[in-house]
Amino acid sequence: MLITFEGPEGSGKTTQARLLLEHLEKSGIRAILLREPGGTPLGDQIRDIVKHVRDLNPTPRAEVLLFAASRAQLVDQVIRPRLGEGYVVVCDRYSDSTLAYQGYGRGLPLDEVECVVEMASEGVVPDLTFLLDLPPELGLSRNRQEPSPDWDRFEEEDLEFHRRVREGYLQLARLDPHRWVILDATKPIAELHASICRTVEERLRKAT
């Protein structure tokens, strides 16, 4: 099973992905946690380029192709092999991030972004996606209260960009309600974790 976590900046998806991995491992389930972009030597270098290196200023089209290159490498080298070995793969962001950020956020034509996404993922679609939803103002405020040591280009985008990203996520979730589970990311971490674990356990039971 491929489980992905999506959400705007400061939504807590990284925390919840890590907590789910710990829960799965304690339950005796083979699982692996990945992040996008990244997860391979090539992907980690692309991550620095698109998120943390100042003054490179990739254009929106260059940006979407860089994310796609990282994902293609991750799918081929890690995700597909681990799924074939029976692992539960937990991924902090995946293809829906590209649609939300570069499609809805940057305003690139969605049909073109979808083609790039499909090529990069090579048909590997999440079985379950958690959307940790919250107002972008709150998410950005959270990140500024606990700043990362690495400068992040996306956190410096204006509020309207982040609002478009959020609306993009909500639209994607509406289009595929079976795959997506929308969670209120303003709720306590423990409450969200418990809800996520219940949902994953139910889906795993149905899959066996």
Task: Break the chain into its structural domains and give their ranges.
Answer: 2-207
- 2-207 classified as CATH 2.60.120.310: no
Q: Which long-range contacts (CB under 8 A, 24 or more apart) does 74-80 make?
A: 74/34, 74/36, 74/38, 74/39, 74/40, 74/43, 75/120, 75/121, 75/122, 75/124, 76/122, 77/40, 78/32, 78/34, 78/39, 78/40, 79/2, 79/34, 79/124, 80/122, 80/124
CA 165 – CA 102 distance, rounded (Å): 9
Q: How many CB atoms lie within 10 A of CB 167?
A: 14
Q: Copy the structure tokens of residue 44.
A: 């980690």
86: Cα separation from own chain's centroid: 21
pTM equals 0.95
Q: What letter would DSSP give residue 157? A: S
Strands 2-6 and 31-35: unpaired
Query: Over its length of 208 residues, how does the chain's per-residue pLDDT go in tens digits?
Result: 999 999 999 999 999 999 999 999 999 999 999 999 999 999 999 999 998 888 888 999 999 999 999 999 999 999 999 999 999 999 999 999 999 999 999 999 999 999 999 999 999 999 999 999 999 999 988 877 765 666 688 888 999 999 999 999 999 999 999 999 999 999 999 999 999 999 999 999 988 7
